[in-house]
Every structure is written in structure tokens, then in C-alpha cells.
């Protein structure tokens, strides 16, 4: 243990440790000033303080066993009933999970086990995924031994139902669409995909992890939002993240099925364990109670009116940003439905623009196919839209006058990665990146 400063003979003073944490935290990306465009969903300081209090009341409890903590059982049931109503599923039944990826994993496992029980002739189940779905679907297919069948998206970045139909085989158990998808923020033609699924007697999952708690309120505000939920015949399940645009604490999502019968295939029970008969609704064993309590508290605090106000603020920021981005000569990719979108340039190296923005303190995700920068807009961005656009104008002017910037910094790295035809090299690089992620830095180093 001598090499580690963590396992010392004597513990340290807790106040000084907390000070160290605060100091390190301050040196991370400044999400609070709206400098990040993903990862953090901040409604207001007041709401964040409220979330922390709600979470900490349930800090030590465990939602694994509903009998020990009946209050948690009722919060979860309340949240699921509220979601069923929001998504127009009078019979809808689901569970809470720790996040979008777990909700997606549960849906994939549910369709696999449903097919095992109802279509025993299928020994090698397949699910059809547009290439734009979140990688959690690929991960789930990998974990649960389901074959992913990929469908390209069209020039509008939406999947073409005709292309999906061509890929349906006697092994297909479900189709997936997103509302909206992450890369360009566009919504797949859910009604047509669901009709197809219904005709073929297979499942249709809608990934509304991003849109679940935004699109219904935008629709109420008069935006043109196509139906994406259980009101569409043939939609059999939905994932929606409370910890994204639901503005709950991290570790909260829901997965809902059209009815209880389908949900049954999500559950896991074990009868012979000497520790007692065991039943678990989702992937995790211990389930943090704080995120359930905080999600319940969030619904109570905002009500419909609060979510409508948030949606209005988010869309007003989005419009200002998109107008400003176009004004400096950059292009919005596709036709994003809400507040998640990408922008690019047909003239400049957009990755070099990202580098310039990074020098000015902005943390922006870079993406590929096409090369673009990605923004997910929240109320945290309200005070900084003008500053962002001013910096973007400067960044664009700099890159325009110095095209050689494409050969430097991250621009060079991302540019090179995009050009490597052998994608296994990229995989190798990513595996190495994961190993390095867990290498210890000497204390005090590894911080910017």
C-alpha cells in the first residue's frame, strides 16, 4: 500500500479533505458558468440546492427492497404513473433505472426474453438499429447476445422505414427509433416504424432519453412535435431520462412498456439462494434511494408549469444560438427538433474552430459523419449565449486567417482519426485510452 497516498496509516482531517475536493472541483470544466454543452443539466442554483437536500434525506437508504423503505416504493410508483400519463400510456408499466444506458439495456433484454418465451423458433434474435442510436444499444446487444442489424440514415439523418423493412427477417424481435437522436437532434419517423413493427408482430422501442421530458412540453407550447409515445399504435416501449431534461439528480431514468405483461420480461428472480428468495427489477442490485427521492421531489417542485417554463427558456436559448451560429457563416446540421443540435462548416475545419473555443474555456463535443460540434442547450446557458457567440466569431475569424491550425492540436488528432480507413486501429486506440484512464496520476498532477 506504500505507493498510494489514499491508504495511509491514519486518516486525515475531514475538513481539509473537503477543501481539497473543492479545489480540484474548481479546476474541472466550468459547467456552472455554462461552459460545457453536455454532461450537466442545471435548471438553477435554487433547484440544485433543493435536489441536494432531497437526495441527502435518502442518502443511505436502498431501493433494493421495497419492504424496508415503503416511501421509496411509493415514489417510484408515482413517478412511473406520471410518466405513463405524460407518454399517453394508460396501461403503461415500467421501472426506474440508474440512467439512459440501463433503461436501454433493460429494453433490449426484455425483448430478448419476450422472444424466447413467445417465439421459441428464434434462436438468434436480431434488433434493428438506425446508425444514429446511442451506443448503449450496441452495448446492450453485445451484453445480451442479440445481433445488432444496422440501418443507415438518410440525408436528413433520419432512418428510412423502407430501409428498415428490407432488413426485417424471421429473427427480428424489435426495431428502435430515437426521439430525438443525439448526434443531430432529429427525430426518426416513429409512426411509420411503429406501424411496421406492429404489422410484423415485433417490438418497437422509442429512445426518448433526451426528448422524454422536453418534447411533450414543447408540444404544449405549440411547437410542431410529431407523436412519439404510446399514442402511436405499435410503440411498445420508451426510455426517458429524468436526469437529463427532467432536471432530476444524476442516476435517474425510466423505462416504460405498453403493459405489465411485457415488463414482466425485464424482471429477474432467483428462488434457490441461501440468502433468501431474490427478486430484482433491473440491472443493479443496490439502488441508490437519493436519485429516486430527488426525481419525485423534482416533479413536485416544477409541476407542468415549471417544465413549460424551462422548455421555453431552453428553446429561446437554442434559437439565439442557432441564429448566431448561422450569422458567423457556420451551418446547422439537419433539422434538429429541439435543443440538441450539431453545427459544421463547408469551408473551415470545424475541429480547428473547436480548438479555438477550447482556448477560450468552452468544452464542446466533437463528432464525425459529418465532422461537427455538438451542443445540448439548458437554462445554464441563458447568461452566456452572447459571450459564446462573440467567442465563436473570433474563433472563426482566427481559423479563416490561419488554415494551418487544422494541422495542430485536437484538430490534427480528430482529422487523422477520421481518415484512418482501418477502424480496428481506432478501436485499439480507444481500448488503450480506457486503460490509461485508470492509471493513477501522482497527487496534484492530472489536474489542469
Residues that bind ligand PLP in the complex, under the rule CB under 6 A: 99-101, 134, 136, 178, 181-182, 207, 209-210, 241
Comparing CB distances to ligand PLP, the nearer of 266 and 345 is: 266
Q: How many helices (H) and strands (E) does the chain have?
A: 14, 13
Least Å distance between CB 305 and ligand PLP? 26
Query: In whole angstroms, how close is the CB of 282 to ligand PLP at the nearest point?
Result: 13
Q: How far apart (Å, rounded) are the C-alpha atoms in residues 177 and 188? A: 6
Nearer to ligand PLP among residue 186 and residue 348 (C-beta): 186
SS3 162: helix
d(CA 343, CA 62): 43
- The least CB distance from residue 439 to ligand PLP, in Å, is 24
Cell readout for 135 is 451506443
**Between residues 205 and 258, which has the closer beta carbon with respect to ligand PLP?**
205
Of the pair 214, 399, the CB lying nearest ligand PLP is at: 214
**Closest separation in Å from C-beta 375 to ligand PLP:** 13
- Give alpha helix (H) positions in 201-285: 215-220, 260-263
- Cβ-in-10-Å burial (0-12, 13-18, 19+) of 316 comes to middle
Rounded CA-CA distance 103/115 in Å is 18
The three three-digit cell numbers of residue 174, written as one number:
424489435
* C-alpha distances in Å from residue 154, one per residue of 158, 188, 224, 343, 381: 6, 10, 21, 18, 31
For ligand PLP, the closer CB: 72 or 105: 105
Least distance in angstroms from the C-beta of 211 to ligand PLP = 8
Closer CB to ligand PLP, residue 191 or residue 207?
A: 207
CA distance 159 to 447: 41
- The least distance separating ligand PLP from the CB of residue 165, rounded to whole angstroms, comes to 23
Residue 141 or 395 with smaller CB distance to ligand PLP? 141
Which residue number is nearest to ligand PLP in terms of Cβ? Answer: 100
Q: Which one, 93 or 209, has the nearer CB to ligand PLP?
A: 209
Q: How far is the CB of 21 from ligand PLP (least distance, A)?
A: 23
Least distance CB 364 / ligand PLP (angstroms):
15
Q: Which helix (H) or strand (E) holds 75?
A: helix 70-86
DSSP 124: S
Nearest to 103 by CA among 238, 251, 255: 255
Task: Name 234's Cβ contacts closer than 8 Å, sequence gap at least 6.
Answer: 193, 194, 195, 196, 197, 198, 204
Question: Angle at the Cα of 37 (from 34 to 40), degrees rounded to 5?
Answer: 75
Identity of the residue, 132 or 322, whose beta carbon is nearer to ligand PLP in the bound complex:
132
CB of 187 to ligand PLP, least distance (A): 11
Amino acid at each position: 500500500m506504500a505507493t498510494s497516498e489514499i491508504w495511509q496509516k491514519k486518516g486525515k482531517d475531514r475538513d481539509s479533505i473537503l477543501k481539497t475536493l473543492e479545489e480540484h472541483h474548481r479546476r474541472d470544466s466550468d459547467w456552472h458558468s455554462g461552459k460545457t454543452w453536455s454532461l450537466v443539466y442545471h435548471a438553477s442554483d435554487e433547484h440544485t440546492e433543493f435536489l441536494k437536500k432531497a437526495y441527502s434525506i435518502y442518502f443511505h437508504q436502498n431501493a433494493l427492497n421495497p419492504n424496508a423503505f415503503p416511501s421509496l416504493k411509493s415514489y417510484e410508483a408515482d413517478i412511473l404513473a406520471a410518466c405513463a400519463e405524460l407518454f399517453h400510456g394508460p396501461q403503461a408499466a415500467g421501472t426506474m433505472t440508474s440512467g439512459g444506458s440501463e433503461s436501454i439495456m433493460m429494453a433490449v433484454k426484455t425483448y430478448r426474453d419476450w422472444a424466447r418465451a413467445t417465439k421459441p423458433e428464434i434462436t438468434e434474435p436480431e434488433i434493428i438499429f438506425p446508425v444514429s442510436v446511442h451506443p448503449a444499444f450496441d452495448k446492450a446487444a453485445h451484453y445480451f447476445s442479440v445481433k445488432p442489424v444496422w440501418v443507415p440514415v438518410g440525408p436528413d439523418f433520419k432512418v428510412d422505414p423502407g430501409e428498415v423493412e428490407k432488413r426485417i427477417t424471421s429473427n427480428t424481435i424489435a426495431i428502435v427509433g430515437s426521439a430525438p437522436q443525439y448526434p443531430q437532434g432529429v427525430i426518426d419517423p416513429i409512426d411509420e416504424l411503429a406501424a411496421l413493427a406492429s404489422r410484423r408482430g415485433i417490438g418497437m422501442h422509442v429512445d426518448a432519453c433526451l426528448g422524454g421530458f422536453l418534447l411533450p412540453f414543447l408540444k404544449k407550447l405549440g411547437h410542431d412535435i410529431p407523436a412519439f409515445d404510446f399514442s402511436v399504435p405499435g410503440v411498445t416501449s420508451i426510455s426517458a431520462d429524468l436526469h437529463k431534461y427532467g432536471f432530476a439528480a444524476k442516476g435517474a431514468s425510466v423505462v416504460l412498456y405498453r403493459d405489465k405483461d411485457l415488463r414482466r420480461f425485464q424482471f429477474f428472480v432467483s428462488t434457490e439462494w441461501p440468502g433468501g428468495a431474490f427478486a430484482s427489477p433491473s440491472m443493479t442490485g443496490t439502488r441508490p434511494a437519493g436519485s429516486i427521492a430527488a426525481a419525485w421531489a423534482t416533479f413536485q417542485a416544477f409541476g407542468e408549469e415549471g417544465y413549460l417554463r424551462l422548455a421555453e427558456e431552453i428553446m429561446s436559448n437554442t434559437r439565439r444560438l442557432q441564429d448566431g451560429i448561422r450569422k458567423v457563416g457556420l451551418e446547422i446540421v439537419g433539422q434538429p427538433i429541439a435543443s440538441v443540435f450539431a453545427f459544421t462548416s463547408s469551408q473551415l475545419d470545424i475541429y480547428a474552430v473547436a480548438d479555438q473555443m477550447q482556448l477560450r474555456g468552452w468544452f464542446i463535443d466533437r463528432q464525425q459523419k459529418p465532422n461537427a460540434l455538438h451542443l445540448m442547450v439548458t437554462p445554464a446557458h441563458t447568461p452566456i449565449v452572447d459571450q459564446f457567440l462573440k467567442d465563436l466569431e473570433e474563433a472563426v475569424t482566427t481559423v479563416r486567417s490561419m488554415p494551418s491550425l487544422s494541422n495542430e492540436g485536437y484538430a490534427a488528432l480528430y482529422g487523422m482519426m477520421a481518415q484512418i480507413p482501418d477502424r480496428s486501429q481506432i478501436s485499439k486506440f480507444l481500448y488503450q485510452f480506457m486503460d490509461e484512464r485508470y492509471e493513477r496520476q501522482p497527487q496534484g498532477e492530472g489536474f489542469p
